[in-house]
Amino acid sequence: MDVGVIGAGIVGLAHAWSAAERGHRVTVFERSGQASGASIRNFGMVWPIGQPAGEWHHVALRSRERWLELSKAANLWVNPCGSIHLAHRDDEWSVLQEFHALAPRLGFDCTLLSAGQVIERTPAANPEGLRGGLHSPTELCVNPVTTIRSLPEWLTKTYGVLFATRTAITEIDSGWVTSADGRRWDLDRVIVCGGSDLTTLFPTVLAQSGLKLCKLQMMKTPLQAAGWRMGPHLASGLTLRHYRNFEVCPSLAAVKARVAMETPELDRYGIHVMVSQNAEGCLILGDSHEYDSEIEPFDKTLIDELILRELRAIVRLPDWTISERWHGIYAKHPSAPWFTAEPLPGVFVRTGTGGAGMTMAFGLAELDWSRWS
């Protein structure tokens, strides 16, 4: 089958890989020279712990397996570092204890750590006020930039996948696509993975989808002192408000109420804080969430200051210098882990992975191609 994939972000590359493995002839269309959307702007956290129990969590774990497979096959850096959610307040500690008690029944593999045990696992945790942490072994750290930039070459070399870069697809029908410069390709199946572009292809379908755009501000430190490694990814008590897995915990309401009362500015900008460390040793810090009409092209210094204020309360880093700042935008579905549509026979839209595209894309692609094959 001739398969066309629109978009060379992580969702497009995942679909291209799964299709090529099944013996299909694949062409990926990317309007830029290199994809430079959400897929190169993220933390590089593959984060199954954040998904609610059941199908979403299974898809995330399947993605995790695929990342490990890809790491071996394409020689990509993937660090099975796991994660720790830190609790610096009693109400956060209650949520972690509750989640830990429910975890075996829900299918999560995690361990409750005392403050001392947290410190043994990571030199980055701030011991001041630390109640304890929740360790999960399933999280991976990947390098978004090198992955998105090197995967096309590997797909071409390994499976003969073709990449048409600087090619904006502007029209699609069952059986063909055309680009803005008038070229046409005949294709049996088309998968539209256009990320946050909701206006070029199938704008009516996407306008009715409930998808929202979300902007996140991010920062990066330079290389930390020689050889200093943080260990697992770190997430804050504030993060408990953000990921849906913790919604099963009745005590989460107290955390939300306290944050809303004490620090409403964090709710205003959707701030919770996390840290990852890349292969070189730089730390990636974030993040905030501003939606649709709130999104401006300019970043807010206040948001960066709030992120750093909250981070300083929970982690100790050898070097807090900020070497890079950027923002990213993703499309998010309000209630589903991704948005799917088949606007024409043989044409499939896959977007709306929100803050979990690095976590879900490979599992989603496998799910799709196992149904389509």
Ligand X SMILES: Cc1cc2nc3c(=O)[nH]c(=O)nc-3n(C[C@H](O)[C@H](O)[C@H](O)COP(=O)(O)OP(=O)(O)OC[C@H]3O[C@@H](n4cnc5c(N)ncnc54)[C@H](O)[C@@H]3O)c2cc1C
Binding site for ligand X (CB under 6 A): 6-12, 29-32, 35, 37-39, 41-45, 47, 168-169, 193-197, 200-201, 216, 218, 287, 328, 330, 351, 353-359
CA–CA dist 105, 262 (Å, integer): 34
**Minimal distance, residue 241 CB to ligand X, in Å:** 16
**Closest CB to ligand X among residues 246, 330:** 330
Distance of CA 264 to the CA centre of its chain: 25
**Minimal distance, residue 291 CB to ligand X, in Å:** 13
**Minimal distance, residue 125 CB to ligand X, in Å:** 20
Please count the CA atoms within 13 angstroms of the CA of 109 that sit on its side-chain side. 7
C-alpha separations of 146 from 43, 87, 278, 288 in Å: 13, 33, 11, 24
Closest by CA position to 85, among listed 128, 122, 42, 41:
122
Residue 79 makes CB contacts below 8 A (sequence gap 6+) with 140, 141, 142, 279
**Minimal distance, residue 201 CB to ligand X, in Å:** 5
- Interhelix angle 10-21/144-159, rounded to 10 degrees, is 20
**Closest CB to ligand X among residues 10, 113:** 10
**Closest CB to ligand X among residues 114, 174:** 174
CA–CA dist 138, 231 (Å, integer): 13
**Closest CB to ligand X among residues 101, 295:** 295
**Closest CB to ligand X among residues 112, 336:** 336
CA–CA dist 71, 60 (Å, integer): 16
**Minimal distance, residue 30 CB to ligand X, in Å:** 5
Terminal Cα distance for the chain, rounded: 10
Q: Considering only CA atoms, give the Rg of the chain.
A: 21
**Minimal distance, residue 135 CB to ligand X, in Å:** 18
**Closest CB to ligand X among residues 89, 289:** 289
- Interhelix angle 357-372/10-21, rounded to 10 degrees, is 30
Evaluate whether 303 touches 217 at the Cβ level (below 8 Å): yes
Runs of H (alpha helix) within the chain: 10-21, 55-74, 90-106, 115-121, 144-159, 203-207, 252-262, 264-268, 301-314, 357-372
**Closest CB to ligand X among residues 130, 218:** 218
Interior/surface letters 59-90, b for 16+ CB within 10 angstroms, e for the rest: bbbbbbebbeebbeebebebbebbbbbbbbbe
**Closest CB to ligand X among residues 130, 347:** 347
Ordered DSSP codes for 94-150: HHHHHHHHHHHHHT---EEEEHHHHHHH-TTB--TT--EEEEES--EEE-HHHHHHH
CA–CA dist 291, 270 (Å, integer): 9
**Closest CB to ligand X among residues 12, 133:** 12
**Minimal distance, residue 189 CB to ligand X, in Å:** 16
Distance of CA 158 to the CA centre of its chain: 26
**Minimal distance, residue 36 CB to ligand X, in Å:** 6
**Minimal distance, residue 356 CB to ligand X, in Å:** 4
**Minimal distance, residue 6 CB to ligand X, in Å:** 5
**Which amino acid is located at 316 in the chain?**
R
**Closest CB to ligand X among residues 236, 359:** 359
